[in-house]
Amino acid sequence: MNPNSWISKIRSRLGLCEQDLQIEHLEKNWLYVAAAMMAFMVVILGIGALFLHLNPPSHWETIESPSLHLSAEFAEDKLGVQPTTLPDGTIQVTLVAARYGFFPREIFVPVDKNIQFRIASLDVIHGAHIPMTNMGTMILPGHVSEVTTVFPKPGEYPLLCNEYCGMGHDHMWSKVTVLTQDEWAAHKTGGKQP
């Protein structure tokens, strides 16, 4: 079967003009280049998502915000770095975002370890971000946000709110200290969670 006759058959079926399919060759080449660039980006991001698990923090889990203080997980004395790690060694951190701070106000976590943040809002929409890292998530009232990250560099970081939440929004931040492995070992045995 001649492919040209197929093309003309499809063209007449669709009611396309002869001119519709005539594109100047430079423009055609540019279209190929442009489409290839976009496809390349999508493929790279797809490989990242499927094989490296580089995904944004999507997590459907609902919770009743006004009674957070009564819940098993987000009661005040349960917040902060959890005493037991998950089976795969991931350290869990539970936080409440409320105007105007992330509670507890100061946490210590180790470098180069999986850290899973679980955050719930007491009031309005907040956003959590630690500058210079990929730790970030929006926090909606009624939803639990979950985001896992690894901190590559020790140091003191602000955990700040990056969604407008009211007149005190500028002041909404807490302190995260990323410890070296040695400091973390000493902290776990000697130090106390503030």
> Of 8-27, which residues contact other proteins (CB under 8 A)?
14-17, 19-20, 23-24, 26-27
Q: Is 91 in the site for other proteins (CB under 8 A)?
A: no
How far is residue 124 from each of residues 37, 58, 177, 179, measured CA to CA in Å? Answer: 40, 19, 26, 31
Among 47, 49, 86, 186, binds other proteins (CB under 8 A): 49
Quick one: which of 142, 152, 191, 194 contacts other proteins (CB under 8 A)? Answer: 142
Least CB distance to other proteins at residue 190 (A): 26
Can you name the residues that pair with 138 across neighbouring β-strands? Answer: 127
Q: How far is the CB of 18 from other proteins (least distance, A)?
A: 9
Q: Is residue 121 within 8 Å of 63, Cβ to Cβ?
A: no
Which part of the chain contacts other proteins (CB under 8 A), choosing from 39-47, 80-88, 106-114, 182-190? 39-47
| Cβ closest to other proteins, residue 20 vs residue 112 | 20
Least distance between other proteins and beta carbon 95 (Å) = 14
Q: What share of the chain is helix, strand, coil (3-state, %, to 5)?
A: 30, 30, 40
Grouping H, G, I as helix, E, B as strand and the rest as coil, residue 128 is strand
Q: Which two tokens stand for residue 151?
A: 């901190």
Q: Which one among 113, 169, 187, 188 touches other proteins, defined by CB under 8 A? A: 169
- 36 lies in the site for other proteins, by CB under 8 A: no
Binder to other proteins among 7, 34, 47, 185 (CB under 8 A)? 34
Locus of tokens 């410890």: 179
CB of 170: closest distance to other proteins in angstroms?
5
Rounded CA separation 127/60 (Å):
16
Element (H, E) at 185: helix 181-189
